[in-house]
A = this chain, B = another copy of it.
Amino acid sequence: MESSDWYDGSCDLVHTFNYICKKWRLPILWYLSQGNFRYYELKRQLYGITNIMLTRSLQDLESHGMIWRKQHSETPPHVEYGLTEQGNHIIPVLEVLEAWGEMQVEYEKRVDCN
């Protein structure tokens, strides 16, 4: 990796990291890694999220091929979301991230006690 490539788009890590480096991305992906959900189910679980943020996040993740959207033709509407085959590759990332997060928080607790 060239030094000059950090932000000209040729650094894969930095480039794709921006897909998940947004406020609600990790929680959404984490939930979808547990199974498929309907729009309102996700909204209920993601306490505090607004329609606009949920919609934007889902559309963005879908545009990057990480999740799929399936609209059933019913009234009232019924839309389901889930991880794509490609999207499943994010699961190990979530696991490692969670392991690190717990370790880091444990460390902070110890330090704050000094």
Chain A residues with CB under 8 Å of chain B are 3-4, 6-7, 11-17, 19, 21, 23, 26-27, 30, 44-48, 64-65, 86, 89-90, 92-94, 96-98, 100-105, 107-108, 111
Contacts and interface: CB of A to CB of B under 8 A. Distances in A.
Q: Label chain A's interface by main secondary structure.
A: helix
Which 6 residue pairs are nearest across A and B when measured between Cβ atoms?
A12-B101, A13-B101, A16-B101, A12-B105, A4-B47, A16-B104
A15 B89 contact: no
B93 A97 contact: yes
A4 B47 CA distance: 5
A7 B108 CA distance: 18
A46 B100 contact: no
Contacts of A23: 7
Nearest to A48: B7
